[in-house]
Amino acid sequence: MGAIRNKKVHPTVEQRRNNKVRINGWSPPIHPLQITAWFFYFFFAVLYFGVMVPMLPTSMYRWLAAAVNGVTYFFHFVIHLTSVTVNPADINLIQKYKSRKKLSPNPFDSTKHAHVIENQFCYICEVTVHPKSKHCSVCNKLFIGCVITAVIGSFFITIVSIILIVAFFKKDSWLY
């Protein structure tokens, strides 16, 4: 007796692709991982500041732990908001969409082209692109590198500042 195997029919790339271009992380449709990330972000804040800090011994350490982690949490929150709000699109694509009101790119025909971007031209967005540009199939957007590249300077400055502040206030520091 053989079991009947259920064949799953997967949608084609054209069916899965959004018709609208996402401007930033606030543009619909919201991805389930975004909701999960925001949930855990606030969950761990409530867990730490509502449970862990009050359980510390009543002394300077409680306030020091709350202050240091509060400042770190605040910087993380600002960088997170910046990375969600920034528009990582290729500059040619931004200029194209500013000049005309159409925000829905053309569908990609894989019978005509092997790749979405060939010879620095995106066939979905119909613009000449930067050599490092990619086209995201989830948000249907042409972008250069990653969102992190837009906020890496702020992140680097924050980390270096924290290291210098800690080194300055440490008694056997090389900054004295």
Q: What is the pLDDT of residues 90-119, one digit of tens each?
A: 677 667 666 666 555 666 666 776 666 667
The pTM of the full predicted model, rounded to 2 decimals, is: 0.53
Helices (H), 52-142: 53-55, 60-85, 91-99
Closest CA to 119 of 130, 110, 103: 130
Give the pLDDT band of residue 123 (cuts 50, 70, 90): low
Report whether 62 contacts 145 (CB < 8 A): no
Point out the least confidently predicted range of 16-20, 72-76, 129-133.
Answer: 16-20
Give the pLDDT band of residue 44 (cuts 50, 70, 90): very high
Quick one: pLDDT at residue 84? 86
Report whether 21 contacts 105 (CB < 8 A): yes
